[in-house]
Amino acid sequence: MNQEQSLAEIERSLIEDFDLLEGVEEKIEYLVDLGHEMPKMDPALKTDERLVKGCQSSVWFDIHCENGLMRFSADSDSLVVKGLVAILDKLLNGQAAEEVLRMDLSLFERLGLWHHISSQRSNGLAAMMGHLKQAAVECLG
């Protein structure tokens, strides 16, 4: 969980990591690696209620609010999308709900990914962010 790191620090670290990579292929490869490093999600949690609407791939988020902090496990059936989920996990898991609401997707532009993922994946990424923001609103009650 990211309590010990601010959102800005996590973003800076991700940008530095992606800046080291040469081309689009390396960035996508690294994205897939990030997805592989994510903790496994309990298959029993992969239900329709946890499925993100608006994603072409299947993406699940099991989200809990603990004292105003967002905690979640997540998974996808697509390797690239799971990498995008892994970035959201690094950024937002354990963050305050207010931080989740302030988050936008400009980081993916700075990582050099936005123009290289399909429009369907970028729409799915926006749907995932919307899903997390709705949970953040509920968390704030």
Q: What are phi and psi of 46, to 5 degrees?
A: -85, 75
Closest to 55 (Cα-Cα) out of 85, 17, 35: 85
DSSP label of 17? H
Choice among 31, 38, 52, 55 that is catalytic: 55
Residue count of the chain = 141
Q: What are phi and psi of 51, to 5 degrees?
A: -75, 130
Q: Are 58 and 77 in contact (CB under 8 A)?
A: yes
Active-site annotation holds for 55: yes
- The residues facing 61 across adjacent strands are 74
- Rounded to 10 degrees, the C-alpha dihedral 51/53/58/63 comes to -40
H and E: helices and strands count for the chain: 6, 2
Residues tagged active-site: 55
